[in-house]
């Protein structure tokens, strides 16, 4: 028996079938051992204390308690324990939060087994593992928007149209007339533009427009 | 005791009347006016053959006891005779006012002390007022009397279909002209006030779009017309109704007015709701009869007209009874407009036994003095009632709408809870199970040796991946996971960024310091934005669109704008757009946000303004670092 050498993994998930399935999978690995299964947040600290796992696999939603918060608490008390979030949520914001909190990984529950094992090993080697499926989906969309110059100035297409007309010296009425918008719409846009760009008057707006050639 | 007293008084009056009959009426220096009926004797002329020269010799001459002269209807034509002596120092002018235009065609003769008989110029309704001897709407006969001579005056009443009750008044000409001027001024003043009511109610109709206002306006207008014509102003030169026989204008206008009156009463008294079907049917029949009668007046065959006239007056009585029945019914149900309208009937009800006794039911409508008064009474009470019931209805309507909106908002919020529950179940339960299945299948696959079965298992893999993605997508649409944690700004950003750049290119912008708004507000805000984005995608035919969140100092402004066709009618798409906007409005109301829509030919701009909750004015710390 070389039980002491096997790495102790704690499973935290309120979904029994998933939790049990995962236990079987991990136990099958020669170097891994499931040292405990936690089904609700309140049992977590007792088992962590008694089992001292090397790695905790943590669900995000534990009957209303957030797994990321819970993981941070564990990490604060036991800085050596690796904590990886294993969730159904394909949510970049949650992944980012996990990263910022200092947890070690974020993986989707439906990741194939090899990927899961790879993630576990990566994290145990002292690195971080964040599911590429979650990251990729956002990068893809950011690309579609990243090239827009106006958006980098934090202006919408309509605001750019209006600024360029202001620069040409048109009044609100004339702008409304030219763009077939209502006077109220143009006024609202101007108010927003000034607020967003932190400009106090038309002169500042015109010089802004000149600087960026709008 | 009392009845004996009454009879004694009556007898005394009769005897005094008989006693005075031989004595002529003395018109002294300070004579102003006198009601003649007690000085009058009369001769019935049922065959209409007695000539003026035979009147004095006629043996049937009897004193006329009544205060007023009743003629027309079943009463035969008659001669009314009375004597006068002027004791004034000069030749003076007098006026005999038969006071009522219904005495159309009366003939007046005057016999002086020398037995010379003079026929006074005839005054007929159809004579234009300006062409009359004294230009006035009333039927007047003017004559001069030498002092201290005894004159006999003869009045021959015509045949008339309607029963009339008139008073013969003899006036000093100057006194008459002065008093008549006052009376005429008051008449037109009141008529003007009624026309003002017409104007106001038509204005109300234009602004409030409630049918009752035009009905009221039209009814008052028809009353004005009826009063104008009945009062004798509607001579043919003014009215210029040449198709219609002039004598029938009164009846014509009155039946039209009656049909509008019933329509108005039906609406005002909520007859359709309160009354049984048969009563409603009677009302419809009366309206139809009125309109039929009015149109029949245009028939060239005049033989029917006499019958028509009496039918018209019967119809008036039926109409009044119908409205009265509706009022009683409404009152029994505690309908307040009915009670207000009942007051209008009070003079009629009080006078009814009297009028029935005298068999002059139409008197109240046809006496010149009462006519305007009655109309005024009617207009004022009906107007008050309509105002009151309109206010009541509007109030009830507002309450109902508020309640409806509240219920709809509740439905939406319940739906929200249900969505949350289903989304959570999908993610947490089904998601976990699906992942486990996937793992077990790949487990089994590893143990397999048969290549064919391995291939079959490999085919399962993409299916399971797809079901996981589907589940995630469905659950996300129901409710973004960990929505509260992620916050509305990021959720909306992800929503917008997930939209493909074609056909509509969406942009997402955010400015200012992010504030937390509370889960309920944020979730509704998310749903509104999502609905509006869907609207743009489905209906706007836009090329570009923008969603931006601007965190001002006191409120969050969400601006959703596109360069599409505006929410104009696009085929049959309007209703679904409308529903989207309506739900958005409900949600906005629910979270106390202000939703403004600005549509123009080059797109739509929707502004949502959400005030920050009063407890947390400082920027939130949990999700300050939004992407972008």
Distance CA B497, CA A198 (A): 26
Give A-chain residues touching B434 at CB under 8 angstroms.
Answer: 110
Give A-chain residues touching B482 at CB under 8 angstroms.
Answer: 60-61, 66, 89, 91, 94
State the sign of the Cα–Cα–Cα–Cα dihedral B233, B235, B237, B240: positive
B267 compared with B241, residue with greater pLDDT:
B267
Q: Which residues of B124-133 are buried (b: 16+ CB within 10 A; e: fewer)?
A: ebebebeebe
> Which of A67, A98, A147, A156 to mutate to test binding with chain B, by most B CBs within 10 Å of its CB?
A156
B392 compared with B103, residue with greater pLDDT:
B392
Tell me which chain B residue has its CA closest to the CA of residue A93.
Answer: B486
Tell me which chain A residue has its CA closest to the CA of residue B485.
Answer: A94
| Model pLDDT for residues B385-415, shown as the tens digit of each residue | 888 888 888 899 899 988 988 888 888 888 8
Of A89, A154, A196, the CB nearest to B482: A89
CB neighbours of residue B321 within 10 Å: 12
Contact A84, A123 (CB under 8 A): yes
Distance CA B354, CA B321 (A): 17
Q: Do the chains contact at A17 and B605, CB–CB below 8 Å?
A: no
Interchain contact B431–A (C-beta under 8 A): yes
Q: Do the chains contact at B550 and A158, CB–CB below 8 Å?
A: no
**Mean pLDDT in chain B?**
80
Tell which residue, B117, B167, B114, B113, has the closest CA to residue B139: B167
Q: In this predicted structure, what is the pLDDT of residue B457? A: 87
Q: Please, which residues bridge with residue B141 across strands?
A: B96
Tell me which chain B residue has its CA closest to the CA of residue A116.
Answer: B439
Distance CA B235, CA B126 (A): 6
Tell me which chain A residue has its CA closest to the CA of residue B431.
Answer: A88
Interchain contact B425–A (C-beta under 8 A): no
- DSSP string computed for A10-77: EEE-S-HHHHHHHHHHHHHSTTEEEEEEE-SGGGHHHHHHHH--SEEEE-SEETTEEHHHHHHHHHHH
A-facing residues of B in 30-89 (CB < 8 A) are: none
CA distance, residue A154 to nearest chain B CA (Å): 6
Of B435, B544, B605, the CB nearest to A110: B435
- Reading the block at residue B566, the tokens are 């505006």
Cβ neighbours for B270, distance < 8 A, ≥ 6 positions apart: B330, B335, B337
Q: In this predicted structure, what is the pLDDT of residue A117? A: 92
Contact B371, B194 (CB under 8 A): no
Distance CA B34, CA B24 (A): 13
Q: In this predicted structure, what is the pLDDT of residue B626? A: 37
Interchain contact B550–A (C-beta under 8 A): yes
First-to-final CA distance of chain B = 106
Cβ neighbours for B337, distance < 8 A, ≥ 6 positions apart: B268, B269, B270, B330, B385, B386, B388, B389
Contact B166, B120 (CB under 8 A): no
- Taking 50 as the threshold, does the pLDDT of residue B82 lie above it? yes
Q: Which residues of A73-91 are buried (b: 16+ CB within 10 A; e: fewer)?
A: ebbeeeeebbbbbbbbbbb
- Reading the block at residue B612, the tokens are 């920050």
Give B-chain residues touching A182 at CB under 8 angstroms.
Answer: 598, 600
> Which of B421, B429, B432 to mutate to test binding with chain A, by most A CBs within 10 Å of its CB?
B432
Residues in chain B: 628
- DSSP string computed for A147-162: T-HHHHTT--HHHHHH
> Which of A27, A89, A106 to mutate to test binding with chain B, by most B CBs within 10 Å of its CB?
A89
> Which of B426, B429, B435, B461 to mutate to test binding with chain A, by most A CBs within 10 Å of its CB?
B435
- Reading the block at residue B604, the tokens are 């739509």
* Torsion of the alpha carbons at B103, B107, B111 and B117, rounded to the nearest 10: 170
A-facing residues of B in 441-500 (CB < 8 A) are: 442-443, 464-465, 468, 472, 480-482, 485-486, 490, 494, 497-498
- Taking 80 as the threshold, does the pLDDT of residue B187 lie above it? yes
Of B428, B485, B550, the CB nearest to A196: B550
Instruction: Read off the pTM.
Output: 0.59
Q: Which helix (H) or strand (E) holds B608?
A: strand B603-611
HEC profile for B37-55?
A: HHHCEEEECCCCCCCHHHH
Distance CA B548, CA B126 (A): 78
Q: In this predicted structure, what is the pLDDT of residue B12? A: 43
Contact B255, B293 (CB under 8 A): yes
Q: Average of pLDDT values for B181-198?
A: 88
Interchain contact B621–A (C-beta under 8 A): no
Give A-chain residues touching B439 at CB under 8 angstroms.
Answer: 21-22, 25, 113
One digit per residue, pLDDT tens: chain A, 214 residues?
Answer: 444 578 999 999 998 999 999 999 899 899 999 999 999 989 999 999 998 999 999 999 888 789 999 999 999 999 999 999 999 888 888 898 999 999 999 999 888 888 999 999 999 999 999 988 885 444 444 444 444 566 677 888 889 889 989 888 888 899 988 888 888 889 899 999 989 888 888 888 888 888 888 7
- Reading the block at residue B278, the tokens are 């048969």
Tell which residue, B517, B514, B540, has the closest CA to residue B627: B514
Predicted complex ipTM exceeds 0.85: no
Of B428, B440, B602, the CB nearest to A179: B602
Question: Of the spans B7-21, B62-76, B245-259, B391-405, which averages the highest pLDDT?
Answer: B391-405
């Amino acid at each position: 028996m070389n039980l002491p050498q096997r790495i102790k993994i704690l499973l935290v998930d309120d979904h029994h079938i998933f939790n049990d399935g995962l236990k079987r999978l991990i136990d099958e690995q020669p170097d891994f051992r499931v040292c405990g299964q936690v089904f609700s947040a309140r049992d977590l600290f007792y088992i962590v204390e008694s089992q001292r796992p090397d790695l905790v696999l943590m669900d995000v939603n534990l009957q209303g308690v957030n797994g990321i918060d819970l993981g941070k608490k564990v990490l604060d008390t036991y800085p050596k324990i690796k904590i990886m979030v294993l969730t159904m949520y394909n949510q970049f914001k949650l992944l980012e939060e996990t990263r910022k909190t200092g947890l070690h990984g974020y993986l989707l529950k439906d990741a194939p087994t090899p990927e899961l094992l790879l993630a576990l090993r990566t994290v145990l080697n002292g690195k971080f593992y964040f599911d590429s499926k979650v990251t990729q989906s956002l990068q893809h969309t950011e690309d579609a928007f990243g090239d827009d110059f106006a958006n980098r100035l934090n202006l919408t297409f309509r605001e750019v149209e209006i600024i360029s007309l202001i620069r040409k010296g048109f009044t609100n009425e004339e702008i409304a007339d030219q763009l077939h918008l209502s006077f109220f719409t143009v006024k609202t846009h101007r108010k927003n533009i000034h607020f967003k760009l932190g400009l106090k008057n038309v002169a500042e707006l015109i010089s802004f427009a000149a600087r960026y050639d709008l | 005791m009392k009845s004996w007293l009454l009879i004694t008084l009556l007898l005394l009056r009769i005897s005094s009347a008989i006693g005075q009959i031989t004595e002529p009426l003395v018109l002294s220096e300070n004579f102003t006016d006198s009601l003649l009926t007690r000085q009058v004797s009369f001769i019935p002329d049922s065959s209409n053959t007695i000539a003026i020269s035979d009147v004095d010799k006629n043996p049937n001459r009897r004193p006329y006891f009544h205060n007023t002269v009743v003629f027309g209807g079943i009463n035969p034509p008659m001669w009314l005779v009375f004597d006068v002596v002027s004791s004034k120092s000069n030749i003076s002018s007098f006026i005999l006012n038969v006071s009522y235009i219904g005495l159309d065609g009366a003939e007046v003769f005057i016999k002086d002390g020398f037995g010379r008989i003079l026929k006074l110029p005839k005054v007929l309704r159809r004579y234009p007022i300006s062409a009359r001897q004294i230009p006035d709407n009333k039927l007047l006969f003017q004559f001069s009397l030498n002092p201290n001579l005894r004159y006999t005056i003869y009045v021959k009443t015509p045949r008339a279909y309607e029963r009339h009750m008139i008073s013969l008044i003899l006036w000093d000409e100057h006194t008459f002209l002065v008093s008549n001027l006052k009376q005429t001024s008051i008449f037109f003043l009141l008529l003007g006030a009624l026309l003002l009511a017409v104007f106001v109610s038509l204005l109300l109709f234009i602004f409030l779009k409630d049918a009752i206002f035009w009905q009221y306006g039209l009814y008052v207008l028809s009353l004005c017309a009826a009063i104008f014509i009945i009062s004798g102003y509607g001579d043919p030169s003014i009215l210029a109704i040449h198709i219609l026989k002039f004598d029938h204008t009164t009846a014509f206008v009155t039946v039209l007015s009656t049909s509008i009156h019933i329509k108005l009463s039906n609406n005002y008294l909520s007859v359709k709701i309160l009354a049984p079907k048969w009563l409603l049917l009677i009302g419809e029949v009366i309206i139809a009869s009125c309109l039929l009668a009015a149109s029949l007046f245009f028939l060239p065959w005049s033989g029917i007209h006499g019958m028509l006239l009496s039918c018209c007056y019967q119809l008036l009585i039926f109409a009044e009874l119908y409205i009265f029945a509706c009022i009683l019914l409404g009152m029994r149900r505690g309908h307040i407009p009915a009670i207000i309208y009942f007051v209008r009937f009070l003079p009629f009800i009080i006078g009814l036994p009297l009028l029935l006794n005298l068999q002059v039911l139409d008197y109240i409508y046809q006496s010149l003095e009462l006519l305007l008064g009655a109309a005024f009474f009617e207009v004022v009470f009906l107007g008050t009632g309509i105002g009151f019931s309109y206010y009541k209805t509007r109030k009830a309507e507002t309450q109902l709408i508020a309640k409806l909106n509240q219920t709809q908002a509740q439905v939406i919020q319940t739906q929200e809870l249900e969505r949350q529950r289903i989304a959570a179940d999908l993610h947490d339960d089904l998601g976990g199970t699906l992942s486990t299945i996937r793992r077990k299948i790949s487990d089994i696959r590893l143990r397999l040796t048969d290549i064919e079965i391995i291939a079959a298992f490999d085919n399962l893999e993409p299916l399971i991946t797809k079901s996981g993605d589907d589940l995630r997508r469905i659950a996300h649409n129901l409710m973004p996971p960990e929505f509260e944690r992620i916050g509305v700004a990021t959720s909306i950003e992800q929503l917008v960024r997930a939209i493909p750049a074609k056909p509509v290119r969406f942009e997402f912008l955010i400015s200012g310091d992010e504030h937390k708004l509370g889960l309920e507000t944020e979730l509704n805000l998310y749903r509104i934005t999502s609905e509006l984005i869907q609207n743009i995608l489905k209906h706007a035919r836009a090329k570009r669109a923008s969603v931006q969140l601007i965190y001002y100092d006191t409120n969050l402004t969400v601006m959703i704008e596109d360069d599409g066709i505006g929410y104009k009618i696009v085929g049959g798409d309007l209703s679904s757009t409308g529903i989207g906007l309506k739900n958005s409005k409900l949600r906005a109301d629910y979270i106390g946000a202000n939703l403004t829509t600005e549509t123009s030919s080059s797109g739509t701009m929707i502004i949502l303004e959400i005030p920050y909750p009063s407890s947390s004015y400082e920027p939130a710390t949990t999700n300050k670092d939004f992407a972008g």
